[in-house]
Structure 1
Amino acid sequence: MTAVVVVLLPLLAVISIFLYVMDLPRKVGEIVSFDSAIRLVIFRISSPDEMRSFRDDVLHILESGIKDPGTDRWSLLHEMDDAKDEIEEKLRNGEFAFSFVGTITALLMGNVFGIVFGAVIITIVGLIFSFLVSARIIVTDVLCYERAVLNH
């Protein structure tokens, strides 16, 4: 009985700590929101209404160029919506891969090879890249039609 407790208690503690650490990004995300700050910067450069007007103009151009009689406005909108989901998933996956490789490279350059300046540059490039990916996701979100519009 005590052998089971001796094995299970540390295992339970390790699992609890692991789950807490895995939940930290969500907790930090509830407190800190970079999304709103990036939206503010993007919307100072170009207003959402102008962006949506441009989107509608592009849709009208695409509609006028359709040669297939079976393709209509709604099928184009659904294709755009599907493409948005795929783009966002690929962007997030790419951002994670880039950040992961960049972090490891920066650690190796700074600690193993002693090239501190290179590690700083890689870190700055990684941060800029993350900002650009987030900005692209926000712009894609603004430019896509709402699902409620697509379901009518």
Structure 2
Amino acid sequence: RYVIVDDYHFICAGKNKADLNGYFTTEEDYRTLDLFPISEALRYRLPFSPAPEAITYIESLIDQSTNGHQPAAIYFDDIEKFGIWPETYQWVYERGWLEQFIQGVLASPYIRLQRYRDYHASEKTRGIIYLPTTSYIEMNEWTLP
């Protein structure tokens, strides 16, 4: 079992962003749950950076130290960014961002697409983590003094 959580929770628990390229495990009363940290950097790049820049960024993640683990670029976000937010329809569809991004990902010799469950089944946890009670970073900015 696993869930997907904003990387900000992991940073608040003391992890470095460079370490958040795989999943971690939390536990309570001998029950475990695996946690995938969603990359804030990817959330801000997709679909707002030019497609080639976004692909170059994803490819650069391969260079991060993984201690024998296959690195993962973990992305999960609001679908509104892909055509519902103002001006995103023109950028994503009419100006071809989505087509360029998909073609670039498929052409990359370094990027391999995987479902969460497949990555989870093929990789080991990066370790135990206990996340603090917090929200995603934007919510903290909007609600905390």
Both structures adopt the same fold (TM-score exceeding 0.5): no
After TM superposition, the score normalised by the length of structure 2 is: 0.23
Q: Which structure carries more helix by proportion? A: 1
Q: Which structure carries more strand by proportion? A: 2
Which structure has the larger Rg?
A: 1
